[in-house]
Structure 1
Amino acid sequence: MALKLKRGVNAKKEELTVMSISEIISELLKAVKEHRDVDLNKYCPGGPDSDFEYSTQSYTGYEPTSMRAIRARYNPYVQTRHRIEQLQQLGHSCDKVEFIVMGGTFMCLPEEYRDYFIRNLHDALSGHTSKNVSEAVYYSERSKTKCIGITIETRPDYCLKKHLGEMLSYGCTRLEIGVQSVYEDVARDTNRGHTVNAVCESFHLSKDAGFKVIAHMMPDLPNVGWERDLAQFAEYFENPAFRSDGLKIYPTLVIRGTGLYELWRTGRYKSYPPNMLIDLIARILALVPPWTRVYRIQRDIPMPLVTSGVEHGNLRELALARMNELGAKCRDVRTREVGIQEIHKKVRPSQIELIRRDYVANGGWETFLAYEDPHQDILVGLLRLRKCSPETFRPELRCRDDGDEDSDPRSSIVRELHVYGSAVPVSSKDPTKFQHQGFGTLLMEEAERIARNEHGSLKIAVISGVGTRDYYRKLGYKLEGPYMVKQLRK
């Protein structure tokens, strides 16, 4: 996610308004030259030059994750070891670990620093001291504590083929891309520094490479309005150019030290009243299709630091209550997953069936396979399968006899395989839980059947977390580049 607007060292806060195209290009070039995050947006707090000077980009330094990072002096190895120890002391099993690299646009940083950071994440799990990323990944794959995935926050303009290739080498499996709005005028007014078309292109490239795509969206931005906010989410879910796998909904917050704070202070911006915001979120959740997961609603910024915006810490809960009043139902992945249903509604699935949903998104044919109890609307496990489009650029995802880059690559890719419920340790089974009961294997068998018989694919690939590669080896897959690959027989 990008930073607040900064128009040079001597710019006054009252001058923080819309930047011209030449100014945006100048700032982008300056940021790249100085190896720092892109510093354009009006609304994002944090960063070395902000009012929260020891924080990372887009954070205040007072969030729980930020405070743990500060205590470790942002050392990736120390952060990882300390967090694992904390979770173990709380009684959690830590044989499966997922990393989320957050705090700005990671891919705009120098390659040397990025390699150091990723190398130390893997080394913290394996205990090995590696010389490079590939060595770190090799030992991490064999570690007792398995890295099941890495998520990296980025921007559409740092999500091109070069960046995607590097992130694959890190063991990254999921991307969080800052979108904020689907309106070109809003992207311009908030100085995003890229177009909405760049968002669509980044989604297409990312999914063709196998990544799961999570978008950050911000309702209540300046000059939008309630009706237009609702309309943009309807467009987001209905337009095949968007349709990400997941969503983080971050209603706009006014925080001191940002350009938006100056607009608010001078009366040129006003946040939605609490009830209006709750009603908007409720209506947005009613639009979410069953293959999309809403990961978060509202930022994890402490309320005392928020000047204007969200006034409740339980916005999702309030929105779901409002949905009940409206007679609507939220059918996103998170609401339906079996673990959430067991905790909140004290119900378990009684009759589990394989459910298939097909849709078009980002230039490709997507199939969402799931084991569900359709009568209670409970989700046990899911798989995301994509027929690779002709624009697929990874050589591992094209058949060897396919020399034409514009032709059908004749391959399919599994972008996600996930069985929900309480975590079960690796190589263990618990008949009262749903993990390690064979649902994953059944989903993979169905995906292979669809890829072979319907896609006409000659190979199927999986974007796998480094620590889960052995699972796919047992299913007949072999490592090819960053993917686990299997040849399909007719």
Structure 2
Amino acid sequence: MDKTLRKIVNAVQAEQSGFASTQDAHKSALDSAWLDSLVRARNREMHDGKRTVAKKRLLPAYMRIRREEPEKLNAWGAPVGGAVDTQVIRLLRAKPRRTASGVATITVLTKPWCCSGDCVYCPNDMRMPKSYLSDEPACQRAERCFFDPYIQVLARLRVLEDMGHVTDKVELIVLGGTWSDYPREYQLWFISQVFCALNDAGTNNVEDAARRSFYEGCGLSCDPAELREQVAHVQNRVNEGELSYNDAWRQLYGESPAWQRACSIQHATLEDLKHEQMRNECAAHRCVGLVVETRPETITPNNLVFLRILGCTKLQVGIQSLDERVLAASCRPTKIRQIEQAFELMRLFGFKSHVHMMVNLPNATLESERLEYETLMSDPRFQPDELKLYPCCLVESSRLGKMMRNGTWQPYAEEDLISLLAADVMNTRPYSRISRMIRDISAKDILAGNKKTNLRQMVEAHLQQSADGDATPVRPAEMRLREIGVSDVRAEQLRLETLSYQTTVSEERFLQWVTEDGHLAAFLRLSLPHKHAVQRLQDIFRELHAANAENSGIVCEIGDKREAPIQPDQAMIREVHVYGKVAALHHSGESAQHLGLGRKLIEQACSQAAACGYTEMNVISAVGTRNYYRSLGFCDAGLYQRKPILF
């Protein structure tokens, strides 16, 4: 491996000196094709079939040398931090798009727990939280970590860093079904430990090993084969419809002494949380976004206050459909009015909305779903910031199998599904982003429905084919298709645009930096709340106080529990995002990061809000961005950071 790495270093040195040979560097173009060719050549040189150079191991090997044998890099002429060292890491970096959105994303899962819903399409894998499958990558990682948030975060950070990604700025996504179904003390502990892991990462601590030892001492296993055997007798009864997920959970976990012993450490206080949050404000790995997953009916003022105290900035909300007939057929316990109220409250509180929609649900048709998606995008009651657009599929442990057998549900033909999703993409507004079109469900787990992992690419190919015959093709406006990705960009190449749209509670403005051809380099979401909507929210808080509502003590944490956390004369910045390769904190990057685009967006947002008569600007900052906003004149103010914008 060292010989291969030395050859790569030599090639980079030669390229930077302008003397790289055509044979070695393909006319001084050291790219993935050149690297593939080099690896194949090195493997041909090794006659022992067991001694092969794996491309995916090159960067971890190089990073190990960097940490443990820097003198070797000095001898090679690639000192740590030098130009050659930087270029080698860039060349070896695996999956560069993983941080192309401007941050490193880490997904962690909560432990298996009872679910307040029982949707017919939901998987019921008893090794996982409701609706998740043990073969999904994030689920496999969580299981190997005993579902401990601290161990999960540390493990994922190590992998991302070994792949060459900058992990100074992290968006944490907490999955596992309905977050609000878990006890509050568990929620406090889970988020406290997520922050603690970010704060401890990179230090010489033994906490990771100590935690694994604790769980093993409780009698828990993290071996997939052993866990599969442990749940098999109950899983078979769930698959046959003899047991519900919740009944099976009580047998496997609720009555398990091992799980009860593990639960003995899974609690924390608000003081514990605040301590870790304060540490994270200046940590080497800062949380710049925190996302949890829930359902519309759990989005209440009190729950949103608690989520802000935890540090949440975005909510993934399982909507699935806007047709109550479809929801009823799927046994989804959600009403359209609850969905409307969820959107209203999320906007007023400043949260980014990331909704889950499913096509091909029972009772749905191709035509009804086209109209439904157009409603989602255009109706002032909805208009999400981001969404996952999944096709419904049948897995063994779900109750959808019975509906397929009796003919009340059938999967769409592939061409119909692709055509529907392509129409949805074309109907997506320029301020909305489709983050996913498939889940990470293994094809072997899908009994009926789409099994193609490249479904999104198939949809995009369909759109391209449709556009090829048009004299003036209409390009999709959807955000992900416009992102600059890992491309380089210069500030002078960009122009600032503002897109406005009305919702039931606010005027929303989407400020964007775009290139000449419309590609997206940075954006800001500005919310100008309607005064009557804020007044209504204040009335709700007074009613909660008068009724001595449950958890009103949590509201007390932000001041007078009779007052809503926002006022009628306050505007709200809901999100600021700059794309491109992640630049380390306090360093300039190779793309749009750290070019001042975010600062200019904030200045423009404050100017526009002031022109509309607002006197203060709130920002729903993440814990790791508090210092950044303080540097721009924002002060800590309860759930938000705030500054005056009229003088």
- Band the TM-score falls in, shorter-chain normalisation: 0.7 to 0.9
Aligned runs of 1:341-360 on 2, under 5 Å?
A: 342=487, 351-360=493-502
Confirm or deny that 1:489 pairs with 2:629.
Answer: no
Confirm or deny that 1:329 pairs with 2:488.
Answer: no
Residue 91 of structure 1 deviates from its aligned partner by 1.4
1:142: which partner in 2?
A: 282
Choose the corresponding residue for 1:297, options 431, 434, 437.
437
Residue 480 of structure 1 deviates from its aligned partner by 0.9
Can you list the C-alpha shifts for 1:158-196, whole angstroms capped at 9, x where unaligned?
Answer: 111111111101110000111101111111221211201
Cα distance in 1, alignment partners of residues 389 and 485 from structure 2: 22
1:190: which partner in 2?
A: 330
1:462: which partner in 2?
A: 619
1:424: which partner in 2?
A: 583
Residue 489 of structure 1 deviates from its aligned partner by 2.2
Query: Measured at CA, do residues 485 and 347 of structure 1 come closer, stay the same or move farther in structure 2, by a change above 3 Å?
Result: closer
1:180: which partner in 2?
A: 320
Choose the corresponding residue for 1:111, options 184, 206, 213.
184
Cα distance in 2, alignment partners of residues 194 and 314 from structure 1: 31
Aligned runs of 1:31-430 on 2, under 5 Å?
A: 36-46=114-124, 52-127=125-200, 132-327=272-467, 328-339=474-485, 342=487, 351-373=493-515, 375-389=516-530, 390-392=532-534, 393=537, 409-430=568-589
Can you list the C-alpha shifts for 1:338-388, whole angstroms capped at 9, x where unaligned?
Answer: 116x3xxx9989731110101012421100000112x41111100000012
Query: Measured at CA, do residues 413 and 112 of structure 1 come closer, stay the same or move farther in structure 2, by a change above 3 Å?
Result: same
Please state whether the residue corresponding to 2:326 is helix, strand or coil: helix
Contact 1:338 1:348 (8 Å CA) reproduced: no
Contact 1:140 1:147 (8 Å CA) reproduced: yes
Letter in 2 for 1:291: Y
Q: May I ask how many residue pairs the two structures share in their alignment?
A: 439
Contact 2:505 2:529 (8 Å CA) reproduced: no
Please state whether the residue corresponding to 2:498 is helix, strand or coil: strand
Can you list the C-alpha shifts for 1:389-441, whole angstroms capped at 9, x where unaligned?
Answer: 33334899xxx9xx998x971110000000101100010013x3111001111
Contact 1:100 1:152 (8 Å CA) reproduced: yes
Cα distance in 2, alignment partners of residues 452 and 324 from structure 1: 42
Bigger mean CA offset, 325-334 vs 232-241: 325-334
Please state whether the residue corresponding to 2:447 is helix, strand or coil: coil
Cα distance in 2, alignment partners of residues 442 and 173 from structure 1: 21
1:16: which partner in 2?
A: none
Cα distance in 1, alignment partners of residues 528 and 165 from structure 2: 38
Contact 1:151 1:172 (8 Å CA) reproduced: yes
Bigger radius of gyration among the two: 2
Contact 2:524 2:574 (8 Å CA) reproduced: yes
Letter in 2 for 1:479: D
Can you list the C-alpha shifts for 1:200-236, whole angstroms capped at 9, x where unaligned?
Answer: 1001001100000011000101111111111110111
Cα distance in 2, alignment partners of residues 72 and 207 from structure 1: 35
Cα distance in 2, alignment partners of residues 166 and 387 from structure 1: 23
Residue 39 of structure 1 deviates from its aligned partner by 3.0
Query: Measured at CA, do residues 347 and 144 of structure 1 come closer, stay the same or move farther in structure 2, by a change above 3 Å?
Result: closer
Letter in 2 for 1:255: V
Contact 2:113 2:130 (8 Å CA) reproduced: no
Can you list the C-alpha shifts for 1:88-119, whole angstroms capped at 9, x where unaligned?
Answer: 11211111111101011011111111111011
Where structure 1 has 5 or more consecutive residues not aligned to the other structure, the ranges are 1-33, 47-51
Cα distance in 1, alignment partners of residues 489 and 408 from structure 2: 49
Cα distance in 2, alignment partners of residues 348 and 303 from structure 1: 42
Cα distance in 1, alignment partners of residues 113 and 364 from structure 2: 33
Contact 1:274 1:311 (8 Å CA) reproduced: no
Cα distance in 2, alignment partners of residues 481 and 255 from structure 1: 45
Please state whether the residue corresponding to 1:172 is helix, strand or coil: coil
Aligned-residue CA RMSD (Å)? 2.3
Where structure 2 has 5 or more consecutive residues not aligned to the other structure, the ranges are 1-111, 202-206, 208-267, 468-473, 542-554
Cα distance in 2, alignment partners of residues 114 and 125 from structure 1: 17
Contact 1:81 1:124 (8 Å CA) reproduced: yes
Cα distance in 1, alignment partners of residues 163 and 599 from structure 2: 32
Cα distance in 2, alignment partners of residues 207 and 134 from structure 1: 25
Query: Measured at CA, do residues 329 and 97 of structure 1 come closer, stay the same or move farther in structure 2, by a change above 3 Å?
Result: same
Please state whether the residue corresponding to 1:307 is helix, strand or coil: strand
User: Structure 1 length normalisation: TM-score?
Assistant: 0.85
Letter in 2 for 1:173: T
Cα distance in 2, alignment partners of residues 291 and 259 from structure 1: 36
Query: Measured at CA, do residues 449 and 347 of structure 1 come closer, stay the same or move farther in structure 2, by a change above 3 Å?
Result: closer
Name the structure with the higher helix share: 2
Please state whether the residue corresponding to 1:229 is helix, strand or coil: helix
Contact 1:349 1:376 (8 Å CA) reproduced: no
Contact 1:207 1:362 (8 Å CA) reproduced: no
Contact 2:117 2:333 (8 Å CA) reproduced: no
Contact 2:113 2:129 (8 Å CA) reproduced: no
Cα distance in 2, alignment partners of residues 437 and 181 from structure 1: 40
Letter in 1 for 2:632: L
Letter in 1 for 2:115: D
Please state whether the residue corresponding to 1:165 is helix, strand or coil: helix
2:591: which partner in 1?
A: 433
Can you list the C-alpha shifts for 1:451-489, whole angstroms capped at 9, x where unaligned?
Answer: 1112x1111011111101111111101111121110122
Contact 2:319 2:339 (8 Å CA) reproduced: yes
Cα distance in 2, alignment partners of residues 360 and 354 from structure 1: 20
Cα distance in 2, alignment partners of residues 261 and 299 from structure 1: 19
Letter in 1 for 2:519: I
1:19: which partner in 2?
A: none
Please state whether the residue corresponding to 1:218 is helix, strand or coil: strand
Query: Measured at CA, do residues 417 and 404 of structure 1 come closer, stay the same or move farther in structure 2, by a change above 3 Å?
Result: closer
1:446: which partner in 2?
A: 604
Cα distance in 2, alignment partners of residues 334 and 284 from structure 1: 14
Cα distance in 1, alignment partners of residues 485 and 142 from structure 2: 29
Cα distance in 1, alignment partners of residues 489 and 523 from structure 2: 19
Cα distance in 1, alignment partners of residues 529 and 279 from structure 2: 30
User: Structure 2 length normalisation: TM-score?
Assistant: 0.65
Cα distance in 1, alignment partners of residues 277 and 580 from structure 2: 28
